Amino acid sequence: MNPQFKKGVLDLIVLMIVCKEDIYGYELVKQICEVIDVNEGTIYPLLKRMTHDHYFETYLKESTEGPPRKYYQITEKGRQAMDQLKEDWLVFSSKINQYIEGETTHE
């Protein structure tokens, strides 16, 4: 997939996953990779930025497999951002799809 496409939709995918359940970084990366292939090193700076922007709150939770894990929990501001990004994406992708389909029928 084109890296610019990924960059444009990654915030939305992260917000949607965290909206479903509180999650720690590594598990989040695994779930994102089910949708689009992404490098783990891309996600942690994104999480830091989104936490700084108050889209997420974090807390530590004990792990049976090592040190405590940092979990991300969506905030109301994060939900609002997700809803707006989702609406923007649906309008954008619909217009692009209409254009592509229109181009295909004119050939």
Q: What residue ranges define each of the domains in the chain, with the CATH number in brackets?
A: 3-105 (1.10.10.10)
What's the burial of 100, exposed, middle or buried (CB within 10 Å: 0-12/13-18/19+)?
exposed
- Edge-to-edge, what's the strand order for the sheet holding 56-63? 23-24, 66-74, 56-63
pLDDT 10s digits, 12-63: 999 999 999 999 999 999 999 999 988 888 899 999 999 999 999 999 999 8
pLDDT at 105: 56
Q: What whole-number distance in Å separates Cα of residue 39 and Cα of residue 44?
A: 10
pLDDT over 60 (residue 107): no
Tell me the pLDDT of the chain averaged across its residues. Answer: 91
89: Cβ contacts below 8 Å, ≥ 6 apart: 9, 12
Give the global pTM: 0.86
